[in-house]
Structures are given as structure tokens and as C-alpha cells.
Chains A and B, each alone.
Chain A
């Protein structure tokens, strides 16, 4: 049962809570800056590791993450 997330980088404030709480460690901080000057995070999973558990979206303060499930 594969899932994926879409991160709205424009809303991300680099709080990296999603990085901390993703059970599978599929979200990584980066040194990329968004328009507001925050380091954005990136979702790195291409082989179905993401179970769409939504914990990242639940903890994201900025409602920046949308979650999709098969």
C-alpha cells in the first residue's frame, strides 16, 4: 500500500518537525531556501516506503503537506 506526500515549499518554514516525526525518515531537511528565506524540507521516497500514515501532515504547523494513498 504505497503512499506519497506533496510538500508546498512556499509554506514550509523549516521547523523540521515532519523530519523528526516521520516514522520512516522519508523527509529530509535541505539547504534550499524558499521565497521567505526558510530552508525547505524534501520528501525522498520512490519505492513505496511511504504508507501515507499522515503523521507528517498532522504535525506540520503550516498545513504545507498533502498526503495521497493508493
Chain B
């Protein structure tokens, strides 16, 4: 019998602390697999967020440097400007990138920083116990929207990847999901495209990943995966919103 599926070297042999059914666990594996397949383990530098995935540095067997909450794009800019031939990626939650880190992210994109932002959209602030996120959908009950998110009070769920796609410095912008094996495999292909856009020097790349958060949604893992497919995808259409083929951003 030949082994056809095993743990990637780019992941430390350490169990995840994440909750059962958490999207972070799956996404960590995918990012690590792509880094290994692109032979970039010894040239990758990750910037974990403040959030559930702040402990990403316990799992990725690559150099990892922590950024203050929301500042990942700026920290990654500093790293990439010093080490332009390394793969530099941020791994950020929805609050990290689309609330407190909005300015840093938009301006990194606008400068065409050759970094990749991995944007995990699970529609809540997970680490802090399930508060409303900028991506919480209308009607979604969270610990800070007990009566459900209401646009007249809390505004609208933000489609941040489409915003970033319109920014000239962005070379690749896509949204994908983890809600079933097919979409997990698609996410891996999209992550690879984003990293290739970076290593090809094309500009800023962002991959938004719709990710289940069973604990804070108060759902079983299968139900949470269902909710991503049924509810989240409605507000956050999947697809590639921008893809620069070769060439430079200018043309």
C-alpha cells in the first residue's frame, strides 16, 4: 500500500489547539502544503494576527513574526522591503484585516506590496468569544449583536476582497471557502495562485477564505459547514475578482 495522503513537513508535528471543526486547522494545512510544494519552506516568513490564529507560529515550521492586531500588512511590508526574495504572508482574521487593519491593508495593496494576505472570514471575533465582526451577516446573532446584526445600527457586512480587487496595486484577489472537500481543494489551488503572484513580483495578493467557527456560532461542525454554504456564500460570492496575468500592474 502506498501512502497517498500524509502530513506536510511545513507543519510542525503538533496538535492544533483550535476547536473541533475549526476552519483554521484546515487552512493551516493547506497553506503549509502549498509552501512545501513550492519549495519555499526555507524562504517563507509568516505574520500571524492577534486572534485565534495568533498561535499559528506553533504550527507553521517557517519563520513567524507576530504583528500587533490589525498591523500585519504593515509589518509584512517592512519584512518584504528588507527581504524582497522571500515569501511573506500575513494570516489574518476578518476583524484583523477588515476592521482594525483596514488602512494598513488597503495601503499595502495600493503600494502593490508583494505580500500575500490570507484573510480568514468566519464572521465573528473568535478568540474573544464571538463578537460581531465587520463580516458578520445581517441578522447574525453574536455576543455583541444579541438581537441580530441590524444594518441601521451596525452597518453592513463588508465585502473587503472586492474592495481590494479594485485597488491598482492588487495583482490577485479571490474568495474561496472550506465548506466541503471540493472547496478545500479549490482553496489550495487559489492559495498557490496568490503565492505565485507574489513570487512573480506582480503585486499585492489576497485570499479570503470563508471559514466555519462552530464554537462561536453555537453549531455542530457539520451544521457550521452547512451554514457557510447556505448563508455566508450568499453574502460573499466565491470567485477570483482580480488576476494579473504576467505583465506588470501598470498595463
Asked if A and B form a direct contact in the complex, defined as CB atoms under 8 angstroms apart, the reply is: yes
Q: Which residues of A contact B (CB under 8 A)?
A: 3-4, 10-11, 13-17, 20-21, 38, 52, 54-55, 57-63, 65-70
**A21 in complex: contacting residue of B1, B7, B29, B181, CB < 8 Å:** B181
Residues from chain B with Cβ under 8 Å of A14 in the complex: 20
Shortest Cβ distance from A13 into chain B, in angstroms? 4
The answer to the question of B147 belonging to the interface, with a C-beta cut-off of 8 Å to chain A, is: no
Q: Which residues of B contact A69 (CB under 8 A)?
A: 1-2, 4
Of A38, A54, A55, A62, the contact of B25 (CB 8 Å cutoff):
A62
CB distance from A3 to the nearest CB of B (A): 8
Cross-chain contact of A61 among B16, B180, B185 (Cβ < 8 A):
B16
Cβ contact within 8 Å between B4 and A17: no
Give the one of A10, A58, A65, A69 with max B CB within 10 A: A58
Interface positions of B (Cβ within 8 A of A): 1-7, 11, 15-16, 18-23, 25-26, 29, 180-181, 184-185, 214, 220-222, 225
Hey, which chain B residues are within 8 Å of A38, CB to CB? 20
- 15 additional A-B pairs beyond A54-B4, A69-B2, beta carbons within 8 Å, are A13-B20, A14-B20, A15-B222, A20-B225, A55-B181, A58-B181, A61-B16, A61-B18, A62-B15, A62-B25, A63-B7, A66-B6, A68-B3, A69-B1, A70-B1
- Return B80 CB to nearest CB of chain A, in Å: 29
B184's partner among A10, A58, A63, A67 (CB-CB below 8 A) is A58
Given the interface pairs A11-B15, A17-B222, the reply to whether A61 lies near B1 with Cβ below 8 Å is: no
Question: Which residues from A are CB-within-8-Å of B6?
Answer: 66
A17 engages B2 (CB within 8 Å) = no
- Whether the pair A61, B25 counts as a contact (CB closer than 8 A) is yes
Give the nearest-CB partner of B25 in chain A. Answer: A61
**CB-defined contacts of A58 to chain B, threshold 8 Å:** 5, 181, 184-185
**Which A residues are in CB contact (< 8 Å) with B225?**
17, 20
